[in-house]
Amino acid sequence: MTQSVKVSTLKIKERNLGWKLIIPTILIIAALIIYPVIYNIYLSFYDVSISPGKPNVFVGFQNYVDVLTDSDFWISFSKTLAFTLLTVVGSILVGLVVALMMNRKFIGRTLVRAMLLLPYITPLIAIVFAWRYVFLPIDGPLIRLLSTIGIVDPGVDLINNPNNAFWVVTIFNIWRNFPFVYLMILSRLQSISKTLYEAAEIDGANAWQKFRSITLPELYFVIGSVALLRGIWNFYKFDEVYLMSKFAGTLPLYIYEKAFLGVPEQGVAAAIATILFVGMMALIGFYVKKVLKW
């Protein structure tokens, strides 16, 4: 009797402590993430004033109509989709090949492995300047190299030219983020049991067959999850794109320009953000069901 009372008070105590310790987190996340997401939807129905004295004016769906009939929006939207798709596929392919390479023993592996993390961990602003330098027209070493091979015209400014900027930021994103993919795939690769490969070898499987029927299925889930994470992050990606080239024309850049540059139209920006958000949620739902089969 006394025993059970004691246990239950202990349990209550524990429960209370549990809540007390997590409350700060809940408050912060509710106030600064959940509430803003909802507030954003609210703002998207208003002509948002930027001077504190003037109230917002309700405009109904006008912002949405403006956005959806704006051809710039659709161009940005399709660029964002293409950017996301290309960077996800690209970083996974590079990450997969590199993980397979690093899963082998070779001279200098430790050093190469350490180097591979550099693109991912180096502060963005530092490598952005390095990239801008090597891509400089005429004098940039990479442009010099490419023009000697005859791939590009030495005078071309790839970064500040809206036609090419998209490709530069796409390649840059793949270069910067493949180490993340490689790390995740490698850690899964290392946990695949050797006996599977031994059994396949006894059955006379060649390297490709082993890769097809053992490695890939074992990696299915991790690749699926990485694709989801990278997809979400790259869909929203602002800084990596904007700092590399303002001319890349993806949707996050469009939102930033609408909301904070020139004459701010924050209601319109909020409407775009809401569309982005809803689109993202739908894509995630579809993906989780169909690809990850949860």
Give the residue with the Cβ less far from another protein, 166 or 181: 181
Cα angle 4-7-10, degrees, rounded to a multiple of 5? 150
Q: Nearest distance from residue 3's CB to another protein, in Å?
A: 17
Q: Nearest distance from residue 223's CB to another protein, in Å?
A: 12
Is residue 98 part of the contact set for another protein (CB under 8 A)?
A: yes
Strands (E) across the chain are located at 46-47, 57-58
Give the residue with the Cβ less far from another protein, 166 or 180: 180
Rounded Cα distance between 213 and 163, Å, is 42
Contact yes or no for 48/270 (Cβ under 8 A): yes
Give the residue with the Cβ less far from another protein, 167 or 256: 256
Give the residue with the Cβ less far from another protein, 73 or 242: 242
Give me the amino acid identity at 237. K
Q: Nearest distance from residue 262's CB to another protein, in Å?
A: 13
State the helix-helix crossing angle for 266-290 and 251-260, rounded to 10 degrees: 160
Give the residue with the Cβ less far from another protein, 195 or 261: 261
Beta carbons within 10 angstroms of residue 127's beta carbon:
19
Give me the amino acid identity at 79. K
Largest CA distance in the chain: 88
Give me the amino acid identity at 47. D
Q: Nearest distance from residue 211's CB to another protein, in Å?
A: 15
Q: Which two tokens stand for residue 152?
A: 């590009």
HSE, side-chain direction, 13 A CA sphere, residue 115: 7
* DSSP state, residue 56: P
Q: Which stretch binds another protein (CB under 8 A): 59-67, 83-91, 98-106, 150-158?
A: 98-106
Q: How many residues bind another protein (CB under 8 A)?
A: 87
Give me the amino acid identity at 8. S
Give the residue with the Cβ less far from another protein, 113 or 195: 113
Residue 276 CA from chain centroid, whole number: 14
The closest of 143, 125, 122, 124 to 134, measured between CA atoms, is 143
Q: Which stretch binds another protein (CB under 8 A): 162-170, 198-206, 210-218, 248-256?
A: 248-256
Contact yes or no for 235/5 (Cβ under 8 A): no
Q: Looking at residues 174 to 193 of the shown chain, list those that interact with another protein (rule: CB under 8 A).
A: 175, 180, 183-184, 187
Q: Looking at residues 38 to 57 of the shown chain, list those that interact with another protein (rule: CB under 8 A).
A: 39-40, 43, 48, 52
Is residue 208 part of the contact set for another protein (CB under 8 A)?
A: no
Q: Looking at residues 149 to 168 of the shown chain, list those that interact with another protein (rule: CB under 8 A).
A: none
Is residue 28 part of the contact set for another protein (CB under 8 A)?
A: yes
Q: Looking at residues 106 to 135 of the shown chain, list those that interact with another protein (rule: CB under 8 A).
A: 106, 108, 112, 114-119, 121-134
Q: Nearest distance from residue 118's CB to another protein, in Å?
A: 6
Give the residue with the Cβ less far from another protein, 1 or 114: 114
